[in-house]
Amino acid sequence: MSIAREAIVEKLKKICGDEAVVTDLEVLQEATYDRFRKYEGYNKVFVNPLPAAVVYVKNKEEVSEILRFANANDINIVPRTGHSATEGGLEPIRENSVVVDGSKMNKILDIDTYNMQVTCECGVVLEDLEDAVRAHGCTTGHSPQSKPIAQMGGLVATRSIGQFSTMYGGIEDMLAGVEAVFPDGTICDIKAVPRRSAGPDIRHVIMGNEGTLCFITKVTVKLFPYYPEYQHCMGFTLDKMEDGLRIMREVMTTGYRPSVARLYDAEDGKEHFSHFAPGKCVILFVTEGPELVSQANADGIRKIMEKHRECTEVDPKLIETWFANLNWDAARIEEERKEVLQTHNVCCTTEISAPWSAVEGIYNVVKERVINEIPDITVFGAHASHCYPNGINLYFVYWYNVVDCAPEEEINKYHRPIKKIICEETIKAGGSMCHHHGVGKHRTAWIDQEHGSALYMVKRLKAAFDPNGIMNAGSILPYKG
C-alpha cells in the first residue's frame, strides 16, 4: 500500500466534499459483502477487509478525479450502484479499497418518445425509470426480479436480463449508448444510434465489465410501446422436466416470441405453485405487444400446447397473481434475513445457459451430483426463465440447512461446492457457467475453461484499460496479489 487510509479519506473529501465520504463502521461493514455471503452478512460476520471509505459521487468529473487518484496510488476501486450483486462482485478483497457508489447520480435526463429511447444517470433505480417511461405509454422491456433495487449502472455492468427477455432481449439488446470513466480518468461517451458498423461494437467492452475496466456514469436504453391490455397469460402442469424442455424448444424453434417463457421443475415449483400444482412441473407463457402480435403469438403457442396431452392447462389468473408478486424489494430482503437467522435454512442460486442438445444432460447430472455429494440440502430444483432459438438458461435453486458450522464457513461447506458442480458440469457439456449474474469473485476459478482460447481477449482488455489493476480486483479474473 503506497498511501495511508487517512490520506485516502482526506483526498476523497477534497474531491467530493466531506458529506459524500462515509467511514462509519456499519457502512463499511455492509460494503464488504453482497448476496453471495448473505448468510455471513445476516449474521454480522465480515471476513473481507474493510474499505477505507464509501464515496457517493455526484457526477462524472468526480468519478474521473477519484479514478486518476486511485490509479496513481494503487488503490482498489469497487464500483457500486444498487448493491444487489449475487456473486461477490462487491467484495473489496484488497486492503483500503474505495467503494465508489453511484446511487446519488439518479437523474433521468431525457425521455425521448420520438426516437424511443431514454437516457439516465447510472444510479437510477430501474423501477423508477420504468414508472417514468410508463407515464409516457412506454416500457424499457427490462424487468429483472431485482427491479425495485437494481440501478442502471449495475444492470449494464453485469449484463443483466429481465423476465420479459424472450421478447425484449437482455440489456445487450436494449443498450443504445453508454458513458463510462476509465482508470486514467478518461471519460468516454458512446453515442446512442440505431446501429453502426464503425469498427468493433465498443458498447460490449463496457457492458458486463463488472466494474473491472471502467465506471459507468450514464446509460441510454431503447423504449417500446407498452400495451398491458393485450397481454395473454397461460400456464400448464406436467410431470417431467425433460418434456417441458422439449416443449420450450418447440415453441422457440417454431418462431413464436412470447415475452415470458418459463419452466419449473417440481422441486423448485414447490416454492411457487404448491397451492395448485403440488408435485408437478409448470410451464407458463406471457405474450404481449400490439394486439395482433400478442394474439398471434398466444394462438400459435396454444396450438402447440394442445398437441401435448401430457400438459394440463391451469386457470391463467393463478399465473397472473403469482407473476405480479415475483419481484424482490428491500422489505422482502429484510423478511428473508429474519427467516434465515431463525431457521438457518438458506436459499442460493446459480444460473447457466446451454444449447438445447446439452441442457437436459446438465440438469440431470447436476441434480444427481448435488443431492449425493452435498450435505443438508433441503430443496434442489431448477427453472428455465430465458429462452432462445439456440438454447435456454437454467436457474438452479438450492436450499440447505447450515449445520455445525460457523457463519464464515458456510460458503466453503455448501455454496462453493454446489457452484463448483454446476460450473464444471455446465462447461464440460458446452454451456456457459454464467447466464446473467456475472462472474463476480466466486466463479473466477473456471474463467479459463469458460472462455478457452478467447480468454486472451478478456486478459488483453484488462491489461489495456486497467494496466495498474485498480478496478475491482478479483472480479472476472482471479486476483494474483
Ligand X SMILES: Cc1cc2nc3c(=O)[nH]c(=O)nc-3n(C[C@H](O)[C@H](O)[C@H](O)COP(=O)(O)OP(=O)(O)OC[C@H]3O[C@@H](n4cnc5c(N)ncnc54)[C@H](O)[C@@H]3O)c2cc1C
Give the residues lining the site for ligand X (CB under 6 A): 34-35, 78-86, 89-90, 102, 122, 144-146, 149-151, 153-155, 157-158, 160-162, 210-211, 215-216, 328, 436-437, 472, 475
CB of 139 vs ligand X, minimal distance in Å: 16
Q: What is the DSSP string of 90-118?
A: T---STT-EEEE-TT---EEEEETTTTEE
Specify the residue, 21 or 57, whose C-beta has the smaller distance to ligand X. Answer: 57
Please tell me the distance from the alpha carbon of residue 59 to that of residue 217, in angstroms, as a whole number: 8
CB of 362 vs ligand X, minimal distance in Å: 20
User: Which residue, judged by CB position, is nearest to ligand X in the bound state?
Assistant: 154
CB of 156 vs ligand X, minimal distance in Å: 7
CB of 68 vs ligand X, minimal distance in Å: 16
Please tell me the distance from the alpha carbon of residue 226 to that of residue 131, in angstroms, as a whole number: 12
Specify the residue, 211 or 235, whose C-beta has the smaller distance to ligand X. Answer: 211
CB of 239 vs ligand X, minimal distance in Å: 27
Q: What is the DSSP string of 271-323?
A: HHHTTT-TT-EEEEEEE-SSHHHHHHHHHHHHHHHHH-TT-EEE-HHHHHHHH
Grid cell listed for 162: 429481465
Specify the residue, 122 or 252, whose C-beta has the smaller distance to ligand X. Answer: 122
The secondary structure element, H or E, covering residue 15 is helix 5-16
154 half-sphere exposure, CB direction, 13 A CA radius: 31
Please tell me the distance from the alpha carbon of residue 387 to that of residue 288, in angstroms, as a whole number: 16
Specify the residue, 222 or 442, whose C-beta has the smaller distance to ligand X. Answer: 442
CB of 307 vs ligand X, minimal distance in Å: 31
Please tell me the distance from the alpha carbon of residue 90 to that of residue 100, in angstroms, as a whole number: 11
Specify the residue, 83 or 272, whose C-beta has the smaller distance to ligand X. Answer: 83
CB of 218 vs ligand X, minimal distance in Å: 10
Specify the residue, 95 or 360, whose C-beta has the smaller distance to ligand X. Answer: 95
Residue type, 44: K
CA-to-CA separations, 366 to 40, 156, 426, 427, in angstroms, rounded: 26, 29, 8, 12
CB of 17 vs ligand X, minimal distance in Å: 20
Residue type, 114: Y
Specify the residue, 219 or 418, whose C-beta has the smaller distance to ligand X. Answer: 219
Specify the residue, 127 or 242, whose C-beta has the smaller distance to ligand X. Answer: 127
Specify the residue, 139 or 237, whose C-beta has the smaller distance to ligand X. Answer: 139
CB of 119 vs ligand X, minimal distance in Å: 15
Of 67, 88, 132, 85, nearest in space to 106 by CA: 132
Please tell me the distance from the alpha carbon of residue 245 to that of residue 314, in angstroms, as a whole number: 19
Count Cβ neighbours within 10 Å for each residue of 369-394 and write b for 16 or more, e otherwise.
bbeeebebbeebbbbbbbbbeebbbb
Specify the residue, 436 or 443, whose C-beta has the smaller distance to ligand X. Answer: 436
CB of 360 vs ligand X, minimal distance in Å: 23
Please tell me the distance from the alpha carbon of residue 151 to that of residue 215, in angstroms, as a whole number: 13
On the 0-12 / 13-18 / 19+ scale of CB atoms within 10 A, 129 is: buried
On the 0-12 / 13-18 / 19+ scale of CB atoms within 10 A, 316 is: middle
Specify the residue, 238 or 411, whose C-beta has the smaller distance to ligand X. Answer: 411
Specify the residue, 158 or 237, whose C-beta has the smaller distance to ligand X. Answer: 158
CB of 333 vs ligand X, minimal distance in Å: 7
3-state secondary structure string across 339-377: HHHHHCEEEEEEEEEEEHHHHHHHHHHHHHHHHHHCCCE
Cα torsion 461, 462, 463, 467 to 10°: value is 130
Distance of CA 78 to the CA centre of its chain: 17
CB of 81 vs ligand X, minimal distance in Å: 4
Specify the residue, 86 or 350, whose C-beta has the smaller distance to ligand X. Answer: 86
CB of 179 vs ligand X, minimal distance in Å: 10
